Structure 1
């Protein structure tokens, strides 16, 4: 394998000054930064975790501190002429676990004390919010310049306590009082930027601080976090070439694989170009191995628990149509977990209907889709995170070799292993399990799951075979096979050239398992 000069990839680098001073590669976003700082003042932006929000705030901090040296060679160097130095109050809530009220108080207190060292002490008896207000005023008066406030991961304490109603309410009241200081402080403020994963509409900052401009779905700033294909090809061409050589693929094949796995995020209605997950892209270049890097850094346990508590039909998530208000209202509603699943990055915008003002949501890419499905499998089936890949791999082997009976026997054994507490599940639960199994098969072979009337329950395509599955919860095997014929489920595949296999199966309600099945060849 050919080697290339070592280049420094900014994996986990969230400090813009360190990134630039230490010679790490940087995808230049500073033209958008300049547009932002010169056309508005109070902003909010939500993006999934590890999408570059912290680095963006650090870039803004360096700009407002007048660090012209850090921007040499970047777009903003030619745009900015003054490089005025402003007082910057940078608050990050990203580093704590937040297990009680005191843990949040300590984080806020620590930042206040740091700022007081530079801009003057404040009376402790005033409380956190009043001291924050006084520090802003003192910083403005001491420096003669208006203040820049940058708040990173403002919602981390709230996300940590989604399942703890009491502590969640405590944090919401504390943060509402602290953040809404920014409204009264407006005469002393030059710029405000707040980032997070979600926008909790119940939190008073978004009602009281009503001048805050939400950039989350603004088309001008859709690419300010994450990477576009053009940015990747321009900045990381040697890394792409090394990745291609490692896997004996062409440059274009490698970009297509990166696209399949890590592209697909869209944050606006009219966005044509997908955004790649920057954390996964950088890690692939570093290791030259395709893995689920972003998904592995956070487990969506609370989101899955929300789905289970609401008995939400998991099958609806991919291709779900929702009104625009569902994505802009940002309510934490345990009866409707979709908005927070979208904001967390497990769903993204796939389409938009301007007439109905509705969005179509879906999984952004293969990393998220199969990472999510593999993660939720133990919550809906008797499989563990360790055994699930083994089972799915065996299913794949059997269909590849046209061993349908062993495939169905394994499926039957799979359902027989359900623990007692799962045996009172509804029929829909078992339909969801079928859905998970066939969706996970899509990691290895082409699988279609029924999403519209007039299609079979599942279509599986291997190199040599096309299988059409129909499962009857309230009917016989013969009825299932007859439906495949009567509905013309095979017609789209008759000119394909591969051997067509029909599989009809019944579901035994008494046994809560697959009953009989029949296999017929149509060629």
Structure 2
């Protein structure tokens, strides 16, 4: 089998016999129909590989790197010098160091392309303007800028540094705006911000972040996974079903991809809300693990790289996220907030969550209607709530009992309540006070989802909905929560919860052969309590 790529350099794909999921038709159309483009995607989605592919095509042509790809016999562009800048490589804490590190590749580019007699400068905007001024009249270059917003996102909590970097970056883009010396320009980043001049009124750059025609350019489609990774899919199924690859049916392959989709699919970057893609990083790691571990395990890979981005952690230092909103499958925000975020300093938190990959489009983009956002899949939802747990809880409370078995899966009712009280005792009550039943429910759900439990939030049946329902292969745990601040109300509230569970038959829907554990419990929010003080298993 070909190897799964561990590189963002297209030249390595040929040298190391890596699988290349062919995106060259998109790149052909991109470079043919546009002169200056921008697209945003979360970290680790394939932006850098896309820019590297564009660089290789313009700099070296199709031979030998693109043999067997769609573009091989269609690319007719002349070769051009390519100036490729990655802002990930430059300082995000020292403006002078940033300017120095950005100016150096500009000088190196000029030297390598025999551009001389320009006036040197320590301001990147001035320097690139001066280089363009002395370039021969007919000379054009390709300019590629990766992660343009790195210095801005790193300073989301430092308004003074943010503003200094913003002005410098704005001036740099102002210097290259409309320049005839640029044959083609592509810029990538995580965020789309109007306070940087590439997106301001009169800008000559096309924002293709949610353009239908290019919505599948970055990320894997279902058909691409099936085509390019078929050997890995067959290998996984053969391990699970203990059968040879030759015996595996089309139905089994489709079912396997369905399971992958639950974990890694449904990111949408399409204004028409038609096209959806899988996370490239997660798919590659999942399929690689099948070979290395010789078994199928749906791991949460997003959190390890994309799940803890500094931009979101920094934002959460000074902002409390709306947890109850994030627990819902659909969050509505104004169209203008989504399409025209001005600055990271005052960005709508849900727009930031979308741009960093925690939420994704759940509707088309209609100027006359609100935009609906929600989690893409189970992996990213788990990553989101693991991240929230770091903010909400002062310490990590293990969900396991002895033998690495979940307390909820195998423990007694007393064990489960003890776990919940330990979790609630570790709350940052100053930032997330528990003052009603809905907040109590939301915070326990944050903990459970963050620990990879299969939690059904406000699970509906024909007679109502339970507060928390957690599924395991052999057990289902249902909790009905009540809140009070008065000890003399605890028994009354417990009776209410018990009555609700019995009358509405919580947890009985699609129970199959699972054990059902129904628990009524009361949380006393008084300052000297802050715990579940009374509970009862319903029999």
Gaps of 5+ in 1: none
Q: Distance in 2 between matches of 1:126 and 1:156?
A: 20
Q: Which residue in 1 is equivalent to 2:395?
A: 383
Q: Which residue in 1 is equivalent to 2:304?
A: 296
Q: Distance in 1 between matches of 2:30 and 2:432?
A: 55
Contact in 1 for aligned 2:523/2:531 (Cα 8 Å) = yes
Trace 1:129-140 onto structure 2 (pairs within 5 A).
129-139=125-135
**Aligned with 1:38 (options 25, 32, 41):** 32
Shift of 1:236: 1.6
1:148 and 2:142 are equivalent in the alignment: yes
Q: Which deviates more, 121-130 or 320-329?
A: 121-130
**Aligned with 1:216 (options 196, 201, 209):** 209
Shift of 1:56: 1.0
Shift of 1:275: 0.9
Count of residue correspondences: 506
Q: Which residue in 2 is equivalent to 1:166?
A: 160
Contact in 2 for aligned 1:87/1:140 (Cα 8 Å) = no
Trace 1:431-470 onto structure 2 (pairs within 5 A).
431-440=441-450, 443-445=452-454, 447-449=456-458, 454-463=464-473, 466-470=476-480
Trace 1:197-236 onto structure 2 (pairs within 5 A).
197-207=190-200, 210-236=203-229
Contact in 1 for aligned 2:273/2:364 (Cα 8 Å) = no
Shift of 1:392: 12
Contact in 2 for aligned 1:161/1:168 (Cα 8 Å) = yes
Trace 1:347-496 onto structure 2 (pairs within 5 A).
347-352=359-364, 357-384=369-396, 387-390=397-400, 397-401=406-410, 403-418=412-427, 426-427=435-436, 430-440=440-450, 443-445=452-454, 447-449=456-458, 454-463=464-473, 466-474=476-484, 476-484=493-501, 488=504, 490=506, 493=509
Q: Which residue in 2 is equivalent to 1:328?
A: 339
Superposed CA offset, 1:221-280 (max 9, x none): 011111111111111222222333344476445423322222221112434343111122
1:512 and 2:530 are equivalent in the alignment: yes
SS of alignment partner, residue 130 of structure 2 = helix
Q: Distance in 1 between matches of 2:233 and 2:319?
A: 43
Contact in 2 for aligned 1:116/1:122 (Cα 8 Å) = no
Shift of 1:419: 7.0
Shift of 1:451: 9.3
1:111 and 2:121 are equivalent in the alignment: no
**TM-score computed with the length of structure 2 as normaliser:** 0.84
Change (3 A) 1:37 1:137: farther
Q: Distance in 2 between matches of 1:211 and 1:133?
A: 17
**TM-score computed with the length of structure 1 as normaliser:** 0.86
Q: Which residue in 1 is equivalent to 2:67?
A: 72
1:120 and 2:130 are equivalent in the alignment: no
Shift of 1:154: 0.7
**Aligned with 1:281 (options 283, 308, 312):** 283
Q: Distance in 2 between matches of 1:258 and 1:105?
A: 44
Change (3 A) 1:115 1:413: closer
Change (3 A) 1:137 1:147: farther
Q: Which deviates more, 332-341 or 167-176?
A: 332-341
Shift of 1:409: 2.6
SS of alignment partner, residue 60 of structure 1 = helix
**Aligned with 1:503 (options 506, 513, 519):** 519
Q: Which deviates more, 70-79 or 287-296?
A: 287-296
Contact in 1 for aligned 2:469/2:507 (Cα 8 Å) = no
Change (3 A) 1:112 1:315: same
Shift of 1:401: 4.4
Q: Which deviates more, 161-170 or 253-262?
A: 253-262
Q: Distance in 2 between matches of 1:209 and 1:140?
A: 27
Contact in 2 for aligned 1:398/1:404 (Cα 8 Å) = no
SS of alignment partner, residue 108 of structure 1 = helix
Contact in 2 for aligned 1:503/1:518 (Cα 8 Å) = yes
Q: Which residue in 2 is equivalent to 1:28?
A: 22
Q: Distance in 1 between matches of 2:176 and 2:403?
A: 55
Shift of 1:464: 5.3
Structural RMSD (CA): 3.2
Superposed CA offset, 1:334-359 (max 9, x none): 47321111111111123348596233
Change (3 A) 1:72 1:247: same
Q: Distance in 2 between matches of 1:499 and 1:294?
A: 32
SS of alignment partner, residue 200 of structure 2 = helix
Q: Distance in 2 between matches of 1:482 and 1:274?
A: 44
